[in-house]
Amino acid sequence: MCFTLFHAIYESRVLFTISIVAMCFTLFHMTGVMHVDGTLVSMAGSAFGYFSGLSSFLFGFFIFDNLATYLTVKNTYLGGFWGSFSDLMMLTACWFPGDDDDNKEFKRSLIRWGLAAFALMCGGAGGEITMDAVIEQVQERNMLTSDEAQIVKRLGGSASVPLMWMFEVFETNIHEKSLLGAEFKVDKIESVVMRMRGSISGVLTAVSSFGLTPLPLVHLMSALVKMVRWIPVLLILIIPSHLLTIFCGCKPPPATLPPLDQGGRRYS
């Protein structure tokens, strides 16, 4: 939203217009063609100060709101995802301590799917490449098999699909091994997986058009930026360059009125 120069002045319509108008009215003022009342000058300055203060206040709120969004995504959503994933792996190590091949494959699958869910979330949030390309990159990094990648692709690249697989294999292993407190363990795993899914949804919502920043505020800030960019043009139309005339030693000719007669009437 900041007005930054990336090109020459003549390549920017706003700056080019301001420069031309400023030069024209400076010449008019220095040659005495026109003169502006000081009251109008002060009124224009007050209006500019009001809009500047309003813009500063709203810009401050806008910046802090975006900073709060960043901290929420970082600490709550991303931190919540990795915290829940760590809880899941800790529970896996406690409930399935064996080092047989089935347990090893089970744990590898959980790690693969957890990383795949995070990678799909990042790819969907970035928006720089298509989801098909994201899925191909995830498959190349061995986080998804070819069959799993095809399933995820058919479902639109949703990052929640690997989480569903994680919960399913966890529930199956708990019941197959007849672990004590199976229902409690299943409920616990379901709670952890749902927290991971909630973190993914929070990240994707924060970067979407329905993000945490209110859309009316974004529209208002856009309108104020455009207004603040054009207010200097209006001020230049109202306030000729008095400082330039002082520096150049040129002042407009003072307005003179015919003298009054004894009756208070002016001579023609």
pTM of the predicted model, to two decimals? 0.62
* pLDDT tens track, the chain, 268 positions: 333 444 454 456 666 676 676 667 666 656 665 555 556 556 666 666 666 666 677 677 777 777 888 888 888 999 999 999 999 999 999 999 888 888 899 999 999 999 999 999 998 887 778 899 999 999 999 999 999 999 999 998 899 999 999 999 999 999 988 888 889 999 999 999 999 999 999 888 888 776 656 666 666 766 766 666 666 555 555 554 444 444 444 444 444 445 545 554 544 5
d(C-alpha 165, C-alpha 169), whole Å:
6
pLDDT at position 208: 78
In DSSP terms, 260 is beta-bridged to 266
d(C-alpha 100, C-alpha 102), whole Å:
6
pLDDT at position 256: 47
3-state secondary structure the chain: CCCCCCCCHHHCHHHHHHHHHHHHHHHHHHCCCCCCCHHHHHHHHHHHHHHHHHHHHHHHHHHHHHHHHHHHHHHHHHHHHHHHHHHHHHHHHHHCCCCCHHHHHHHHHHHHHHHHHHHHHHHHHHCCCCHHHHHHHHHHCCCCCHHHHHHHHHCCCCCHHHHHHHHHHHHHHHHHCCCCCHHHHHHHHHHHHHHHHHHHHHHHHHCCCCCCCCHHHHHHHHHHHHHHHHHHHHHHHHCCCHHHHHHHCCCCCCCCCCCECCCCCECC
pLDDT at position 179: 87
pLDDT at position 21: 67
pLDDT at position 2: 38
pLDDT at position 53: 67
d(C-alpha 87, C-alpha 80), whole Å:
10
